[in-house]
Structure 1
Amino acid sequence: MLAETSLSIWGWGSLGVVLFLITFGPFAIFYFAFYILCFVGGGFVVTLLFEKNNSEKYLEQCEHSFLPCTSVGIPKCIEEMKREARPIKIDRRLTGANIIDEPLQQVIQFSLRDYVQYWYYTLSDDESFLLEIRQALQYALVQFSARSKETDWQPYFTTRLVDDFGTHLRVFRKAQQRIAEKGDQMKDQAEELVDTFFEVEVEMEKEVCRDLVCTSPKDEEGFLRDLCEVLLYILLPPGDFQNKIMRYFVREILSRGILLPLINQLSDPDYINQYVIWMIRDSNCNYEAFMNIIKLSDNIGELEAVKDKASEELQYLRSLDTAGDDINTIKNQINSLLYVIKVCDSRIQRLQSGKEIDTVKLAANFGKLCTVPLDHILVDNVALQFFMDYMQQTGGQAHLFFWMTVEGYRVTAQQQLEVLQSRQRDGKHQTNQTKGLLRAAAVGVYEQYLSEKASPRVNIDDNLVAKLAETLNHEDPTPEIFDDIQRKVYELMLRDERFYPSFKQNVLYVRMLAELDMLKDPSFRGSDDGEGGELFTCLGDFLEISFFCFKIK
């Protein structure tokens, strides 16, 4: 079937070709191909000419509408680049005080030099970019200065910062205590101390732990970046902050170029020691601070060094050949040095024998302990630290901190009023300013410890608190404005079983007596309330220590 169909197609096709050649001749096929070629070529030429005219007309319209002429733009840019750079004027005022503005300008200049200029000048000599960076930094500093002037820094430095520092010390001491209780079970005490420190911090702070920020360099850098991001959001204009390149650039300069090196330097023990030495270079250490350092030191090497230095000075004084009034002065100095050597030997023996840890067992052998009055504890630095730790454990730290804050307020208020009176005698009037400062300080104490928003709040008679609030609202504050409430708080700490009475039964009280050298022989016993020979013996030792320390001064 397929063969027949193919044969018919070929037959009809051949017949058609034969008939075409007979009708038109043998050259007809060439004419046909030529006609087709001319038709296609003519259509292409017509299309090309028509579209060329339309394109020229459209380009003419574009040239006169929005497309700039390139032959004019490039020479104009070259001409602008060849012009001399105009001098850049920089406003160097930041805070309004030259003594502060000049160092800040130097910090900005050094930051640009160390972190921008060394690579930017390899790309371009144009100063406009550097000017924009400098102006952004200056604007941020101006905004920071303005906001700092609006902030009341006194409550922060007098309460918040002191409380944070005290909390840090308490956490560190508790961590050291736990490490000491574990003894020699730990292989790496330094690493274990860090872990224990942050465990205690979680226990005390409840919701805050700074272990990652303090131990991981990556997390520390991330925290500083976030901090700088917040600062730039507050300080920079909205336009500069929305510019991500500018924001990230300034953020990296602040975090990695300024804050991180500053923190590393302030955390360097060698720098801290050198700075402390520089600060106390021109000051004399009083006898109480010097003896407290010796008594509280737990480094045997330091105690032996002090002992050796005292022995050298003792030999020098004994070798002097003096007569007359000088002999009495030298004898007093020799007695003072002998007392220092005695205290060092006693402290070294206590540390070597482990007595520092077993003070409770030692007190059990002694029987009844001597009583140190609460008013003596509140004025002695060593005793106050132990009592403060105990009040922190029992939740009564607000009462103790309130008592101490009021003491500081009274002294400050008296000094301010004395200065005010002296200026009034000289004809200078600053009454309103001084009274405003006193009122702000008194209101700060009230808000922090006595108001309904205070946390923790001092639990005291509401009538006294209401009377104090009324006085603050209608009268000028005086140094004695908190005396009634302070007296009630003192009586509460003295008589409440949670505080001073329980403190005398606590292990911290025994350790306090050990630090004050008041753990005596069992023959010196008296009553529990402090009456009799026991109290006089302990206070006599306390006065004896002060007398010999006074000789050292």
Structure 2
Amino acid sequence: CICQVSVSSAAWGSLTLALFVATFGPSAGFYFILYMVFFLAGSLGVIFIYGKLNSEKLLESYEQTVLPAVLPAIKAVAAEIRQENKPGKGDRRLTGASIIDEPLQQVLQYVLRDYVHCWYYDLSDDEGFLLEVRQIMQMALTTLFNRCKDVEWQPYLTTRLVDDFASHLRAYRKALRKVNEHDVAEAQQSDDADEIVEAFFNAEVEMEKEICRDLVCTSEQEEREFLRDLSEVLLFLLLPSNDFQSRSVRCVLREIFVMGILLPTVDTLSDPDYINQYVTWMLNDSPCTCEAFLTVLKGSELLDELEAVREKASEELQRLRSQDTIGDADVTVKGQMNSLQFVKKLCEVRMDRLRCGKEQELECSRLPANLGKLCVIPLDDILGNNIALQYFIDYMQSMAAQALLFFWLIVEGYRVTAEQQLDALHRERVGAPRHAPPTHNLVVMLRNAAIGVYEQYLGEKASPRVRVDDVMLANLREKLHREDLPPNLFPGLFDDIQRKVYDTMLRDDRYYPGFKQSSFYVKALAELDMLKEPSIREGDDSESYNGSPASSLNVSLDDLSLTAQTPSPEEPGQLQAQITETGVGNEHGKSYTLYAITVTRRHNDGSQDSWDTFRRYRGVNDLHMRINEQ
């Protein structure tokens, strides 16, 4: 039965195939298979797209649930976290003054851009860390500015900073003196710059009592480590405790301060080009005066520089002489010629001293055999002259008595400042009574300044301390704590103690009398051109190098306004000189007297010639002293 069914199925199949081939042809089978393949592929594609759409709808229906969202933590903690994550606008105030805060905000933005953004965006795109760093920096700056308001800047800027700067200059000058004391051959064999640096830090150790900063100043690695330690201390003082305990934030801020702010600032301030450009910019509106120009020439150590100035002076002198030979007897031209001749001689003498190695030490032949024959400069004139005062400071430093001198100078500055402030307040009250500042503010400022002077030099914690009478100290303390002290008494608060200190320096053999017998005094006289040596003028009309004893500075103008007449039958005529006009000048805090002298020459035939010349008090007084000696 099964065999019959199989034969029947095969027969029908064969018949169907034969009819299909007869109807559609021999290639119909191939096309049929191709059609079936495309049909199956299309069916599967439709089923896939339909299933995908239904799956997406089903997933959306599953996500839209009616159950409330479950918080991942405690509600209070989660709410606080969400509130902290919200980026707020923040307080952009730093100092309270918008004119200062805006530039500081730009500086913060530039610092973050140059030193944080360049590497942070390679690690993460999250702005939270950058915002946190900026807020911490703002907080540190705000704390710094608030603390700066509590600092007494006036005593610091007028005393401690000036003392530190003066100590630095003294150490540098001491190092230069030590270097110049070496043999010339040894100086040629060694590096002069390295030798000066070594001598400077040796002098610093001697002056600062075993404190030396050579490693910090000469080694870049030590300098960075020192600045890092300094930044750590500043961050500890300025940052909140929570932020300071974060090591990552502390390290980032420390490196930003060191590499982005402190180190570039130190490098800039140590760059000679920057300093020269800054000084040039500051002097644009302040032309160089004659006194300053001559001071620079006297202290110059560059032969090329002196030679260039001498050549320029010679060229200008030749040009003016050509004008003078034509018959131009103008007083201004003659004065310019005298000044140029003086500058030329000054350059030549300075060059000779440098070539002969006489810069720092004076020749024995120039010094008087007896120091008593030197010009005597009163203590008042020493305290009022910058050059002499510098040598007196060096001498007092060598005697470990610089506190006396510094106290006198500080008190003198306080007295002058107080008088100026009170005078300005009085003028404002007279001119505009309604807009004048209250007296109380000025009294508070003067009292605070006086207390600062007292604590620095006279207080029990002062180091070094100026020793004065206990009664004077008690009177001073009583005045300082009096709330009803009249303002006009503030300038004279320290008068009694200042007078006592002045008498001590004047009469104690260790101070002013010892200074007159020291090499510092001789060097001061040499720099002031007051040593009794032959004049370098050699008959010129230029100003003389010779100084006159300062003890003769009290000679009256009546004694100087004399007429020198030298008649002689052997001479072809006679000369007459008369001071026709006097004036007082003040340059760089130095006052000097200038005389206009009319010289008349009478010939035997009755004719006469007359010309005018200018001389400073030093030359006129020197002539007067020579006439008296003869």
* TM-score normalised by the chain length of structure 1: 0.77
Q: 1:155 to 1:534 in 2, by over 3 A?
A: closer
Distance 1:348 1:455 in 2: 44
Equivalent residue, structure 2, for 1:410: 415
Which of 376, 392, 399 does residue 394 from structure 1 map onto? Answer: 399
Equivalent residue, structure 2, for 1:135: 135
Distance 2:305 2:203 in 1: 28
Equivalent residue, structure 1, for 2:103: 103
Q: Deviations over 1:179-216 (max 9, x none)?
A: 11112324122112111111111111113111111111
Query: CA RMSD of the aligned region, Å?
Result: 3.2
Contact kept in structure 1, 2:139 and 2:239, CA below 8 Å: yes
Distance 1:102 1:299 in 2: 47
The higher-RCO structure (CA 8 Å, 6+ apart) is 1
Distance 1:189 1:539 in 2: 46
Kindly state the Cα deviation for residue 543 of structure 1 after the two structures are TM-superposed. Answer: 9.6
Equivalent residue, structure 2, for 1:430: 438
Which of 402, 415, 420 does residue 425 from structure 2 map onto? Answer: 420
Distance 1:213 1:225 in 2: 12
The range that moved more, 232-241 or 95-104, is 95-104
Distance 1:289 1:189 in 2: 28
Equivalent residue, structure 1, for 2:454: 446
Contact kept in structure 2, 1:518 and 1:538, CA below 8 Å: no
Equivalent residue, structure 2, for 1:373: 378
- Corresponding residue SS for 2:442: helix
Equivalent residue, structure 1, for 2:526: 514
Kindly state the Cα deviation for residue 366 of structure 1 after the two structures are TM-superposed. Answer: 5.1
**How many pairs were matched up?**
462
Equivalent residue, structure 1, for 2:77: none
2:507 alignment partner AA: R
Equivalent residue, structure 1, for 2:243: 240
Distance 2:148 2:328 in 1: 58
Contact kept in structure 2, 1:176 and 1:193, CA below 8 Å: yes
Distance 2:551 2:86 in 1: 85
Which of 269, 275, 279 does residue 272 from structure 2 map onto? Answer: 269
Kindly state the Cα deviation for residue 544 of structure 1 after the two structures are TM-superposed. Answer: 8.8
Q: 1:118 to 1:458 in 2, by over 3 A?
A: same
Q: Deviations over 1:362-411 (max 9, x none)?
A: 34455432211111111111111111100000111111111111111111
Q: Deviations over 1:298-339 (max 9, x none)?
A: 333332333334344444555669999993233323322222
Kindly state the Cα deviation for residue 504 of structure 1 after the two structures are TM-superposed. Answer: 1.0
Higher helix share: 1
Contact kept in structure 1, 2:378 and 2:551, CA below 8 Å: no
Q: Deviations over 1:438-495 (max 9, x none)?
A: 0011111111112222211223233222222222222345212222221221121111
Equivalent residue, structure 1, for 2:623: none
Equivalent residue, structure 2, for 1:353: 356
- Superposition map of 1:109-128 within 5 A: 109-128=109-128
1:225 alignment partner AA: R
2:416 alignment partner AA: V
Equivalent residue, structure 1, for 2:255: 252
- Superposition map of 1:101-500 within 5 A: 101-184=101-184, 185-186=186-187, 187-318=190-321, 327-359=330-362, 361-365=364-368, 367=370, 368-425=373-430, 426=432, 427=434, 428-474=436-482, 475-476=485-486, 477-500=489-512
Distance 1:216 1:274 in 2: 26
The range that moved more, 338-347 or 313-322, is 313-322
Q: Deviations over 1:37-87 (max 9, x none)?
A: xxxxxxxxxxxxxxxxxxxxxxxxxxxxxx999xxxxxxxxxxxxxxx987
2:386 alignment partner AA: N
| Unmatched 5+ stretches in structure 2 | 1-69, 73-84, 536-547, 556-589, 596-613, 618-630
Distance 1:292 1:272 in 2: 20
Kindly state the Cα deviation for residue 178 of structure 1 after the two structures are TM-superposed. Answer: 0.8
Distance 1:88 1:313 in 2: 71
- Corresponding residue SS for 2:481: helix
2:272 alignment partner AA: P
Contact kept in structure 2, 1:366 and 1:521, CA below 8 Å: no
- Corresponding residue SS for 1:344: helix
Distance 1:302 1:519 in 2: 26
Q: 1:406 to 1:138 in 2, by over 3 A?
A: same
Identity of aligned residues (%): 56
Q: Deviations over 1:265-309 (max 9, x none)?
A: 110111111111111111123333332222223333332333334
Contact kept in structure 1, 2:368 and 2:374, CA below 8 Å: no
Q: 1:543 to 1:121 in 2, by over 3 A?
A: closer
Distance 1:370 1:465 in 2: 37
Distance 1:326 1:98 in 2: 63
Distance 2:413 2:225 in 1: 39
Distance 1:538 1:411 in 2: 24
Q: Deviations over 1:398-431 (max 9, x none)?
A: 1111111111111110111122223333122421
1:115 alignment partner AA: Y
1:302 alignment partner AA: E
1:420 alignment partner AA: L
Distance 2:592 2:235 in 1: 59
Kindly state the Cα deviation for residue 114 of structure 1 after the two structures are TM-superposed. Answer: 0.7
Q: 1:324 to 1:312 in 2, by over 3 A?
A: closer
Kindly state the Cα deviation for residue 99 of structure 1 after the two structures are TM-superposed. Answer: 2.6
Equivalent residue, structure 2, for 1:40: none
Kindly state the Cα deviation for residue 106 of structure 1 after the two structures are TM-superposed. Answer: 1.8
Contact kept in structure 1, 2:396 and 2:511, CA below 8 Å: yes
Equivalent residue, structure 2, for 1:26: none
Q: 1:324 to 1:412 in 2, by over 3 A?
A: farther
* TM-score normalised by the chain length of structure 2: 0.68
Q: Which runs of 4+ in 1 moved over 3 A?
A: 85-88, 308-326, 362-367, 533-540, 542-551
Distance 1:311 1:99 in 2: 54
Distance 2:593 2:428 in 1: 42
| Unmatched 5+ stretches in structure 1 | 1-66, 70-84, 524-532
